[in-house]
Structure 1
Amino acid sequence: MDEPIVINNFIGGVMVPCQDHIDSHDPSTGLVWAKIPDSGQAEVDAAVNAAQAAFEGWSCKSAQTRANHLLKVADILESRLEEFAVAESRDQGKPVWLARIIDIPRCVLNLRHFAHAIPHHLNTSNVNPEMGVVNYTLREPQGVAGLISPWNLPLYLLTFKLAPALMCGNTVVAKPSEMTSVTAYMFCKVLQDADFPAGVVNIVFGRGPSAGQALITHPQVPLVSFTGSTLTGKFIAQATAPMFKKLSLEMGGKNAAVVFDDCDMESCIATLKRSSFINSGQVCLCTSRIFVQKSLFKDFLEKFTAVAREVKIGPPSDKDVFMGPLNSKPHLEKVLRYISYAVEDGGQVLCGHGVEILDLPPQNKEGYFMRPTIITGLSDKSRCMQEEIFGPITCVTPFDTEEEVITRVNDTPYGLCASVFTSNLARGHRVAHKLKAGTVWTNCWLVRDLDMPFGGVKKSGLGRESTQDSLEFYTEAKTVCIKI
């Protein structure tokens, strides 16, 4: 067995050792493969101090100068794509091919997109000849941005926050998930190699209750962007309310797909295979409820179950594997509990855990694997139909009418995204307008445009992220009025 990687914090442009560490496990084997700093108040204070010291110099640079720094980082990251993809796979559990074509390329895109887009949206002006004045606005950075990113898309979602925060002139203290910190640590080395100004980006590793809480409650951190569970988002909102911090919270989902009987069945099933089971169902946008029109229900269920049974599960390095392990042992145990809940609530497990044998190589027997699981026969109020599972489990249920299914889809505390499958585009528009979700896809899934707002309603989120929305979040508008 290889010696575990020992990770350091990145503060003021240098790697800073930490006295205490957390074990990080390779999800495919269950073995410790990295030692993560167990940071707390002292490390966060040092990082915030470094970010504050760097703020004036960074915020005074032109948008183009800031863009040039980000573009250099993007180029270096792209040149190391394979190294990062392999590390992201081992750390998170996703197949290498998935990290290679989605995660790391999207990191590069995040950096380049905001570097190119933000400079064109910073300021506006207006001339009022009757009053003899010129008004113009400034979008001013706010200081140190606290960024907390999750374990399912580690570097992908970190850079989605980091790039606009930096382009708007803020400095940053980021805390990645302690379960997936390796690529963020590698990214620190990219920043060093790109001669990124010291202190502008600081990354502190550690647990939520220690490092995370120290960051969100720090009096010199005026804004916090968080992606993760609704429970943690609620805690952040409560903890920061007396401090009047600016918050962006992207949280849980209980995402539905609506399948009408005039859909393209083959395309629909292929899409739902991805939306239900990609990244082992560990994407906030994954589909966990599928409503199928009654006339199509039996045929759909047979074909969808057959497709799920064919999904190959195994080592993430295998190019033919569609699903690797879940990220951690506690998370696997939590997801499997929901299968027990489904049985208790009267559901039928059609395929997946407990129905088919999971055959793994000897070195992966202690990994956190499970089969994609399809459940039917549950009421809309059952736990599996109401609560976020965040794993490769999806529940399929029939419906009769358009009006009925809209009511049923909306009957959850969440509202992140939904999908509609129909060849009737008028119906597609109608249903999309009535679903209470931040994003609705029609005849597709996870087609993202960074210029379009992203976020949820109800318990799925607060605020939006996109070119314009992120610009507004990471800055404050100032109006200047000058008498001509």
Structure 2
Amino acid sequence: MSQTIYKNYIAGAFQSSQKLFDDISPIDGSLVAKVAEASNSDVDKAIDAARNAFNTDWSNMSLKTRCDLLDKVALTIEKRFDDFVDAEVADTGKPANQAKLIDIPRGAENFRFFSNYIKTSRTDSYEMQYEDGSKVINYSIRKPKGVIAVIAPWNLPLLLLTWKVAPALAAGNCIVAKPSEETPGTATLLAEVIHEVGFPKGVFNIVHGYGPKSTGEYLTKHPDIDAITFTGESATGSKIMKSAADGVKPVSFELGGKNAAIIFDDADFDAAIDGTLKSVFANCGQVCLCTERVYVHQSIYEKFLEKFKSKAEKITENWPKEESLDFGPLISKEHRDKVLKAFSTAISDGGILEVGGGIPVFNDKRDSGSWIEPTIFTGLGEQSDLIKNEVFGPVCHITPFESENEVLEKANDSEYGLAAAIWTKDINKAHLISAKLNVGVVWINSWYLRDLRTPFGGMKLSGIGREGGQYSLEFYSELTNVCVKL
């Protein structure tokens, strides 16, 4: 059987390169594919192709024709649904049911949503009258920015790549995208879909490679890139921002989080248990929105802890395509080493390991993968590493609290400000606390319910800007104000 090679997609053609790297499955350590690492010259060609397409075919295309192409992308992703599921699972190890229910449907929906949304997007106009009776009207014209560099993460590869690509294309931009080196599969399939539905050459380009001293760094520093959008670690975002500053380029960053769940004593107990369990362990904790800090009212703390531990211990780790799987592996052994180091530090700091903390033994090929146990800690102070620093793994620390002021202070005492969840039957209290939490997203009696029209993003080290609906279009567009004297 021949080896799969994921190639770069540049100027409407799939191209290999002199250097190849391995795409390794986190499930069992097997080789998924060889991947063509884009050289600096390849990146130059991709950017030149995008610039040429922007200056000719794409910018002159009608909105209806552009949106028709986006709709065809959504439809073709759905037609190739199983291919996308297989590629997503092979690269990430996530449960196949998760890919089927969330990742791939959202990948298609992102294109369909922004195709529809931009058709009703508006700009403002204002009428003004002077003392002599003369009038002027000011109105705004929305224009695409140009060539956008898209740097996508590995945790939700298709979902988060298309979350950026779809609005950028809808707004009339051209794209050079670099998927994570850990998860090149669905990005390559997306290029195949875009090629199949007939996008003009150069509108969408994929360049594979690593970040520092490789494809990603060269792309984000390139002088002919007009804007950069990135999802990933806060430290990486800071480096990209420094390089973008030299060219005064706009950036949109969705970065890390150290999200808190607050469970009050009047909460629906079972709903709070199940919702928090999902928010901690979904995708093996590898979602920027996952909960890593759990604050439980003192009066129900012991009851909550015992029930939460019991449920966590029953989480199943199985082959990704098995129906019984709740929980996949971490993305790589290197990432697992980082997570295990965080566990070790927590124990050294005096933390109590309530559940997990180690590597499961399967006595089959999965032992060569990057699996890890769902983990719960208690007993640490608020300044400990585990509570202050993002782990990005299947772990939480559970802390009791006595008053609203106390828990608000603890929840806000973080360099991050992405998301929080509040569990209580007192909706008035939930509204008041939501207004005081320094985060970009608050869920009340729920978690990860998303309306694509709403602003998504974080405060502090969790990011710059917002994505979703009009907020995405604002980033991918420039506004020109036109003043007309009547």
TM-score by length of 2: 0.97
Alignment of 1:168-187 (within 5 A): 168-187=171-190
User: Offset at 1:222?
Assistant: 1.2
Instruction: Letter of the 2:455 partner, please give it.
Output: P
Asked if 1:30 corresponds to 2:34, the answer is no
Instruction: Letter of the 2:37 partner, please give it.
Output: D
Aligned counterparts of 2:137 and 2:429: Cα–Cα separation in 1: 48
Please tell me the root mean square deviation across aligned C-alpha atoms, in Å: 1.2
Alignment of 1:56-455 (within 5 A): 56=55, 57-128=57-128, 130-209=133-212, 210-354=214-358, 358-360=360-362, 362-455=364-457
Per the alignment, residue 47 of structure 2 pairs with 48
Preserved contact between residue 122 and residue 138 of structure 1 (Cα < 8 Å):
no
Change in CA separation of 1:17 and 1:379 when aligned onto 2, cut-off 3 Å: same
User: Offset at 1:80?
Assistant: 1.2
Instruction: Letter of the 1:135 partner, please give it.
Output: N
Deviation sequence 1:290-319 (CA, Å, 0-9, x none): 000111100000000000000001211111
Instruction: Letter of the 1:246 partner, please give it.
Output: P
Aligned counterparts of 2:261 and 2:324: Cα–Cα separation in 1: 27
Instruction: Letter of the 2:103 partner, please give it.
Output: D
Change in CA separation of 1:62 and 1:345 when aligned onto 2, cut-off 3 Å: same
Change in CA separation of 1:4 and 1:361 when aligned onto 2, cut-off 3 Å: farther
Aligned counterparts of 1:49 and 1:338: Cα–Cα separation in 2: 43
User: Offset at 1:218?
Assistant: 0.9
Instruction: Letter of the 2:413 partner, please give it.
Output: D
Larger displacement relative to structure 2 (117-126 or 386-395): 117-126
Instruction: Letter of the 2:410 partner, please give it.
Output: R
User: Offset at 1:134?
Assistant: 3.1
Per the alignment, residue 18 of structure 1 pairs with 17
Preserved contact between residue 314 and residue 360 of structure 1 (Cα < 8 Å):
no
SS in 1 for 2:78: helix
Instruction: Letter of the 1:99 partner, please give it.
Output: A
SS in 2 for 1:299: helix
Instruction: Letter of the 1:240 partner, please give it.
Output: A
Deviation sequence 1:7-58 (CA, Å, 0-9, x none): 1100011101111011111110112211122223211100000000100221
User: Offset at 1:470?
Assistant: 0.8
User: Offset at 1:447?
Assistant: 0.7
What percent identity do the matched residue pairs reach?
43
Aligned counterparts of 2:37 and 2:16: Cα–Cα separation in 1: 10
SS in 2 for 1:441: strand
Aligned counterparts of 2:136 and 2:416: Cα–Cα separation in 1: 47
Aligned counterparts of 2:119 and 2:216: Cα–Cα separation in 1: 31
Change in CA separation of 1:3 and 1:333 when aligned onto 2, cut-off 3 Å: farther
User: Offset at 1:122?
Assistant: 4.5
Preserved contact between residue 4 and residue 32 of structure 1 (Cα < 8 Å):
no
Preserved contact between residue 342 and residue 386 of structure 2 (Cα < 8 Å):
yes
Aligned length: 481
SS in 2 for 1:165: helix
Instruction: Letter of the 1:392 partner, please give it.
Output: P
User: Offset at 1:120?
Assistant: 1.4
User: Offset at 1:472?
Assistant: 0.7
Aligned counterparts of 1:127 and 1:63: Cα–Cα separation in 2: 27
Preserved contact between residue 40 and residue 214 of structure 1 (Cα < 8 Å):
no
SS in 2 for 1:479: strand
Instruction: Letter of the 1:34 partner, please give it.
Output: A
Aligned counterparts of 1:294 and 1:133: Cα–Cα separation in 2: 63
Preserved contact between residue 228 and residue 252 of structure 2 (Cα < 8 Å):
yes
Preserved contact between residue 351 and residue 374 of structure 1 (Cα < 8 Å):
yes
Preserved contact between residue 255 and residue 286 of structure 1 (Cα < 8 Å):
yes
SS in 2 for 1:180: coil
TM-score by length of 1: 0.97
SS in 1 for 2:294: strand
Preserved contact between residue 456 and residue 467 of structure 2 (Cα < 8 Å):
yes
Deviation sequence 1:171-221 (CA, Å, 0-9, x none): 000000010001100111111111111110001010112111111111111
Deviation sequence 1:65-104 (CA, Å, 0-9, x none): 1110100111010111122112101111111110000000
Larger displacement relative to structure 2 (51-60 or 69-78): 51-60
User: Offset at 1:252?
Assistant: 0.4
User: Offset at 1:414?
Assistant: 0.4
SS in 1 for 2:357: coil
SS in 2 for 1:317: coil
User: Offset at 1:359?
Assistant: 4.2
User: Offset at 1:361?
Assistant: 5.1
Aligned counterparts of 1:325 and 1:3: Cα–Cα separation in 2: 27
Preserved contact between residue 26 and residue 91 of structure 2 (Cα < 8 Å):
yes
Aligned counterparts of 1:161 and 1:477: Cα–Cα separation in 2: 19
Preserved contact between residue 17 and residue 39 of structure 2 (Cα < 8 Å):
no
